[in-house]
Copies of this chain bind each other. A is one copy, B any other.
Amino acid sequence: MTEVNRVWRLRKRPVGDITDDVLTLAEEPIPEPNDGECLFRLNYLSLDPTNRIWMSDVDQYMPPVALDAPMRGVVCGTVVKSRHPGYTEGQIVSGLGDWADYQLGSPLTLNVMGDTGGVPVVDAFSTFAVVGPTAYFGLLDVGQPKAGETVVVSAAAGAVGSIAGQIAKIKGCRVIGLAGTKNKCTWIKEELGFDAAINYRTEDVPTALAAACPDGIDVYFDNVGGAILDVCLKLMNFNGRIPTCGLISQYNATEPVPGPYNYPMILMRRLRVQGFIVLDFADRYPEAVAALGRWMAEGRIKVRTEIVDGLENALQTVKRIFTGANTGKLIIRVKDVYR
């Protein structure tokens, strides 16, 4: 092959907001697979809040991206050359990879994408690769909501939050979402069926949330941490649960961020606060994909994907997650694929 490979490499760790000098787009030769690997071409790149964690070197759930290494991402690709019996040319694959046009994969991080049941590849990748199972296991396994309980979701118009809230509705819960624009609030309430939506930028959150949760909160699905977590802690019912999926309000912080002032509510209300990542449930992905696919087919779960074309736009686009500019799942499209 004579084509050039574009690779986003991490050049410095961000301090505060992601800046333009954090990543550079290098032009490099296309790598050759070794025994046990395949070479694949990138179709879609998932942009996620956790990208900011991987760029930094704070204590985290997997090693941070090394300086000058390719930026890590969740990817969907097509196999172009294989030296592993599990991959054949033309197969669609997904998993953990790089922000790069061409890259090597092995079964450690890359799966062949199974049957998507008629769902287009981009939608299947967008929903089933990370965010859907995250919402599914985080809400159901960690949050354990019961019918009739009150569930609050922050970043509720985000990729994970919007699905978590809809699953909670399916399970018979009263669901309140927090989002940062009028449009997002309208979307989750009118289209996704949340019982109430609170605009945390324009409303007084303690007052609005207390009014929306007259019976208190049983499950707070936490995507953001910070001030909203503090308000929720105050409203939690006895034996409430706080699945901790993300703390996006503080990923870009440049100073130490105090924990919630209402931390003692964990004791006083006998709460369970539990962090999780979707990889912990990897062996149960098929269960989540089957349930999500069924609910989507039935129209009970709606997803919104925002697609931006061009790997060269990945850096500018990932920043939007941290300003609340996007709704639903954010995907970089390099080349559409169908099956």
Contacts and interface: CB of A to CB of B under 8 A. Distances in A.
Interface of A: 53, 58-61, 225, 234, 238, 244-247, 250, 256-277, 280
B264 A58 contact: yes
B267 A246 contact: yes
B275 A268 contact: yes
Contacts of A61: 238, 267-270
B246 A257 contact: no
Max chain B Cβ within 10 angstroms of own Cβ: one of A225, A256, A257, A264: A264
A59 B246 contact: no
Contacts of A59: 234, 264-265, 268-269
A134 to B, nearest CB: 12
Max chain B Cβ within 10 angstroms of own Cβ: one of A265, A269, A275: A275
B264 A270 contact: no
User: Within the oligomer, what is the number of copies of this chain?
Assistant: 2
Contact of A269 (B267, B273, B275): B275
Query: Main SS of the interface on chain A?
Result: loop
B256 A259 contact: no
A139 to B, nearest CB: 16
A264 B276 contact: no
Instruction: Please give me the 9 A-B residue pairs with the lowest Cβ-Cβ distance, nearest first.
Output: A259-B259, A258-B258, A259-B263, A267-B275, A259-B260, A266-B275, A273-B273, A272-B274, A270-B275
Contacts of A53: 268
A228 to B, nearest CB: 13
A268 B58 contact: yes
Contacts of A264: 58-59, 225, 247, 250
A260 B247 CA distance: 14
Nearest to A226: B263
A262 B260 CA distance: 11
Max chain B Cβ within 10 angstroms of own Cβ: one of A244, A245, A250, A267: A267
21 contacts: A53-B268, A58-B268, A59-B264, A59-B268, A225-B263, A245-B267, A246-B267, A250-B264, A256-B261, A257-B261, A258-B258, A259-B260, A259-B261, A260-B263, A265-B275, A266-B275, A269-B275, A270-B275, A271-B275, A272-B273, A272-B275
A111 to B, nearest CB: 22
